[in-house]
Amino acid sequence: MTPSEYYRWLKREWPKTGLILSIFLFVFLFVFVRPVDFVVFVLLLQTPLYMLHQTEEYIFPGGFGAYFNRQIFKLESEEGPVDENFIFFVNVILIWIVLPTFGLLSTIDTQFGLWIPYFSFFAGVAHLLLALRAGKLYSPGLVVSVFLNIPVGLWSIHYLIDRGVLHHFFLNVHFFIGLGLNALLPVMGALLLRNYRSHARRGPSTKNAG
């Protein structure tokens, strides 16, 4: 498989790959990290948990992109502006690269990773808000949000407070980093929507004759 073929495969199959990777990470973390450093375990645990969240969003039952375009943006198209490219880059960069990188950096200094449980918690809350915004009982990712992201995120934060690693639930920079990263996503979505509508108003591009 050439690099370009692998890239196309990854863009198509990354949620399924993430599900398999999450199972491996759960086993690894519980067997090797949990007995050694429970604080680092708590921070790294958020990554496979979020991969399960992505599984619900994009595999079972999936359809988060179409849901966002139809129910949140109120568009007829299911293909854009939240399309395959946007979904791939945001999810892979943020969840597959940024979260585990800062989780690993917490082995040097826990301050690097203390925002991660807040991010997971607020991501779960965001799905509740999406369901309310759409006027629906369900949004793709809501079940994992309610039963894993929100409770495990809250438990993680309170555990870190009990251990003295965090000194206050709200009054710390990690709270605002986690909240800010989640707030950045709808801002990016709004920019996508504006560009999408701008292109739609201009119509399809035409090629010069000759």
pLDDT along the chain (210 residues), means of 10: 87 93 97 97 97 95 91 83 90 95 97 98 94 90 96 97 95 96 89 83 52
Q: Given this model, what pLDDT does residue 204 score?
A: 57
Q: Indicate if the alpha-carbon torsion angle 128, 140, 26, 13 is positive or negative.
A: negative
Distances (CA, A) of 205 to 50, 81, 198: 39, 17, 12
Tokens of 118: 């807040």
Q: Given this model, what pLDDT does residue 46 score?
A: 97
Q: Given this model, what pLDDT does residue 208 score?
A: 45
d(CA 192, CA 197): 9
